């Protein structure tokens, strides 16, 4: 079984990005992203309505981190320490060596390859440092941009669950994509 340990926090860097720990000082940017109806369209979670909601969300993510239950990174541009998105492992099944990724990006950064770059770093960390065997992503089947991102990252569609969740008075479908440990 996997042993998860995220202290000290593993900061990741790419050609353009620094993935660092979420901080309370990210609350304004997190509020924008998590309160934006279009950005949250495919994510069945309550919108943040206030700065306090955003702070509570960041603190909840950091509690998961402290308890080694999940790890989320703030996505920032190198040289500009301002949150433009978040990416991370939102759930683990240590007994199965499997983690689930989730991500969200500020609309001003869409279409620039930012999430692919961030996700590549997170996947590398998951497979090579955590020693995951597989990573999954659960998305709304109507989220074509997320589907294209996962396909670009070589994820394979495993399932389409019809009306598998109930949120905000509606039944929702979910698609599960997965990626196995890359060949060495």
The predicted-structure confidence for 75-124, as pLDDT tens digits, reads as follows: 999 999 999 999 999 999 999 999 999 999 999 999 999 999 999 999 99
Question: Order of strands, edge to edge, in the sheet holding 156-167?
Answer: 12-13, 17-21, 71-77, 80-93, 98-105, 134-139, 170-180, 156-167
The predicted-structure confidence for 143-176, as pLDDT tens digits, reads as follows: 999 999 999 999 999 999 999 999 999 999 999 9
Task: Name the one residue in this structure whose structure tokens are 């992203």.
Answer: 33
The predicted-structure confidence for 48-76, as pLDDT tens digits, reads as follows: 999 999 999 999 999 999 999 999 999 99
Closest among 130, 141, 77 to 100, alpha carbons compared = 130
Residues 76 and 73: their CA atoms lie apart, in Å, by 9
Residue 16 exposed, middle or buried by CB count within 10 Å (0-12, 13-18, 19+): middle
162 Cβ partners below 8 Å, 6+ apart? 173
Give the fold, CATH level 3, of 12-133: Aminopeptidase (3.40.630)
Two tokens at 66?
Answer: 């402290």
Residue 1 — very low, low, confident or very high, per pLDDT cuts 50/70/90? Answer: confident
Q: What does pTM read for this prediction?
A: 0.95
Please report the pLDDT score of residue 34 as a whole number.
98
pLDDT at 184 over 90: no
- The full set of domain ranges for the chain reads 12-133
> 3-class secondary structure for 119-154?
HHHHHHHHHHHHCCCEEEEEECCCCHHHHHHHHHCC
Please report the pLDDT score of residue 37 as a whole number.
96
Q: Which sign, positive or negative, has the C-alpha torsion 125, 118, 73, 176?
A: negative
Which residue(s) pair with 72 in the sheet? 88
Residue 183 — very low, low, confident or very high, per pLDDT cuts 50/70/90? Answer: low
């Amino acid at each position: 079984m996997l042993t998860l340990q995220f202290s000290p926090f593993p900061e990741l860097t790419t050609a353009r990005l620094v993935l660092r720990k979420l901080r309370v000082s990210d609350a304004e940017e997190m509020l924008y992203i998590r309160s934006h109806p279009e950005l949250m369209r495919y994510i069945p979670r309550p919108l943040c309505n206030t700065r306090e909601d955003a702070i509570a969300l960041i603190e909840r993510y950091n509690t998961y981190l402290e308890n080694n239950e999940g790890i989320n990174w703030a996505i920032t541009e190198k040289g500009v320490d301002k949150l433009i998105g978040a990416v991370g492992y939102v759930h683990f099944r240590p007994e199965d060596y499997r983690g689930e990724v989730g991500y969200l990006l500020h609309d001003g950064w869409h279409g620039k390859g930012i999430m692919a770059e961030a996700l590549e770093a997170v996947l590398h960390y998951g497979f090579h440092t955590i020693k995951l065997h597989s990573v999954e992503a659960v998305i709304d089947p109507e989220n074509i941009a997320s589907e294209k991102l996962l396909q670009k990252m070589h994820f394979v569609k495993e399932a389409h669950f019809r009306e598998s969740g109930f949120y905000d008075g509606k039944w929702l479908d979910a698609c599960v994509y997965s990626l196995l440990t890359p060949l060495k």
